[in-house]
Structure 1
């Protein structure tokens, strides 16, 4: 296998992760947190932070003690190929499932609010082709695109947060623990399903020019935390936790009530920019990482078409299967997000233990 040439500095990796995971933290998991914890959802976010800190230390330990080629390169050098596949298969399935869920959720949102009269097949084909081009461009250009897209995404986010200030009632965040501690602990499941995606940086390590340091991970974790806390507290303060928990897209509903004076309204097309930016980068990146894990045919930062095309054929085949919206969201709430927490915790802990075992073996 040709040695990979690192092409990204850690700051670029951070921007790439913020944009790709931002859609999950800022949009997709908010309804589940509200449904599980209600008004105490923001408390779940705060209580989840110590778990994130512990996970961050373990991830840093794994990164620090892995070779520049990455953790999975270390596994291939030390383990039998069958064991590497056994350990890597759940990661591949997680990447594929995450990309699929992001795509389906995006299509549902587009058809509900913007493209109700456009056939679903047309939207699916156009968006799949767009994501295909993102994956084919390679991780270097994904990071460059993230650096260009993310500033506007952040500006629009701060814009909606400050513009709707007069509609927020902070008293709706209290009292806390009115239903006991159980809802808070239940909400932590969904909060951590977003926060623990910081694990993806282990998969991106082979493309990093410089060492990923602890402060990079701490800052990244704090940003993930803010991406959840912002729209969650805003939804509760603007709509009340009862109404907010009934909404599928409370973050988007904040755009729909936005008004500046009497004549400036309907600025929700800015949300379309945010959603599409996060979705195409997230899907393109996850399919790229999936191809990176399953093949040894790598050329620095790009993947060959003979790898990408079959992946997208499988991906498109899954997308063409019609799924009822109710059961899709029920699947996310009851199965996928809880499974994601267990899976990511397992991967983070076991990866650190494997690296520790290798270091002990090597020191003898």
Structure 2
């Protein structure tokens, strides 16, 4: 077995990394994209998505425990054979490249539209990618420590922002709950469900976890924490803006801007920017690490660090090559990107089902 990463992370650090994969994008986008179908029930959609998505999480955990010393790039060849396994590994690499470019573009659009309207998106994206690349070159231990350092701060700030918004809540705005039945909120759960493709990366990080027996516990805690975070961000948006919450570009940002505490504590949206920047930074390191380590193992190289900057430059070009309009890009996120994400989910399920069948055959 070729192992190109010598570092280790704890199970709790792994959980934090996977929290970052979906939480910070979700806070910004979930209220809008689920609200188009779910209306005032948009806060229920993340709950349905997580209840169904738990099955995929458990499947990826089972695969990781079956091959505790190998990454998904390596064990896919054992499961599917040499050629199909190579193709599956390449798909995981494409996943890392694709998601890094998408999140970078989301970051650039958000910064340009909400905070730095006169700053070219390429400047914001390029600066962030440079910092992310240096972090990824530091190895998986650096990623784990960054998550452990930054994310608890974001939890506290997010909780504070929710509490500060309480005086402006109007419970009547969420009523009637499921007035049109469960169907609207269930339809709204489709896009959040596709984001469970992120758990495909369990197969890449698991071999580097020092206390693997605790992994299931922390991954389930992460799953529950994500469900609560995304549901609460949607619920607060509806409590303030009612059924019109999804018509706003970034509903939770508008929630934060609505908050004012006295005459001296204004512009609290800067706190939300800090939360989102820290979380997005950790998220980007996870995806770029997936792409870089995946390429190194797929090619049989002894180390991945020399690949980080070339892959990063390629990703920068892809992120800027997409649609120039924010609205068009958001349409892409709600259509084509959802298809891609479900394809990655299908790949994970294919690996799980094939491995499970082989185990049953061997047992019999």
Q: Same fold (TM over 0.5)?
A: yes
Q: How does 1:175-254 map to 2 (within 5 A)?
A: 175-195=176-196, 197-211=198-212, 212-242=214-244, 244-254=245-255
Q: So what's the TM-score if we normalise by structure 1?
A: 0.90
Provide the alpha-carbon RMSD of the alignment. Answer: 2.3
Q: How does 1:90-105 map to 2 (within 5 A)?
A: 90-105=91-106
Tell me which residue corresponds to 1:343: 343
What SS does the aligned partner of 2:105 have?
Answer: helix
**1:28 Cα deviation from its structure 2 partner:** 2.9
Distance 1:190 1:27, change over 3 A: same
8 Å contact kept, 1:198–1:221: no
Q: Gaps spanning 5+ residues in structure 1: where?
A: none
8 Å contact kept, 1:235–1:251: yes
Tell me which residue corresponds to 2:64: 63
Q: How does 1:88-167 map to 2 (within 5 A)?
A: 88-167=89-168
Alignment partners' CA distance in 2, 1:298 and 1:25: 35
Distance 1:319 1:214, change over 3 A: closer
Tell me which residue corresponds to 1:354: 354
Tell me which residue corresponds to 1:311: 311
**1:194 Cα deviation from its structure 2 partner:** 3.2
What SS does the aligned partner of 1:29 have?
Answer: helix
What SS does the aligned partner of 2:131 have?
Answer: helix
Distance 1:310 1:59, change over 3 A: same
Alignment partners' CA distance in 1, 2:8 and 2:301: 13
Distance 1:11 1:182, change over 3 A: same
Alignment partners' CA distance in 2, 1:97 and 1:29: 20
8 Å contact kept, 1:31–1:247: yes
**1:193 Cα deviation from its structure 2 partner:** 2.5
Alignment partners' CA distance in 1, 2:47 and 2:23: 18
Residues 49-101 of structure 1 deviation map (CA, whole Å, 9 limit, x = unaligned): 43123223322322222232234322334654321122223322222222111
Say how many residue pairs are matched: 359
Distance 1:313 1:47, change over 3 A: closer
Worse-superposed segment, 217-226 or 58-67: 58-67
Distance 1:218 1:76, change over 3 A: same
1:46 aligns with 2:47: yes
Alignment partners' CA distance in 1, 2:79 and 2:194: 30
Q: Gaps spanning 5+ residues in structure 2: where?
A: none
Q: So what's the TM-score if we normalise by structure 2?
A: 0.90
Tell me which residue corresponds to 1:281: 282
What SS does the aligned partner of 1:320 have?
Answer: helix
**1:144 Cα deviation from its structure 2 partner:** 0.2
**1:347 Cα deviation from its structure 2 partner:** 2.9
Distance 1:53 1:312, change over 3 A: closer
Distance 1:98 1:258, change over 3 A: same
**1:163 Cα deviation from its structure 2 partner:** 0.7
Residues 208-265 of structure 1 deviation map (CA, whole Å, 9 limit, x = unaligned): 11225432232121011012111100000011121x1111111211221111123211
What SS does the aligned partner of 1:238 have?
Answer: helix
Alignment partners' CA distance in 1, 2:84 and 2:48: 36
**1:346 Cα deviation from its structure 2 partner:** 1.3
8 Å contact kept, 1:25–1:195: no
What SS does the aligned partner of 2:273 have?
Answer: helix
1:271 aligns with 2:272: yes
Alignment partners' CA distance in 2, 1:92 and 1:34: 32
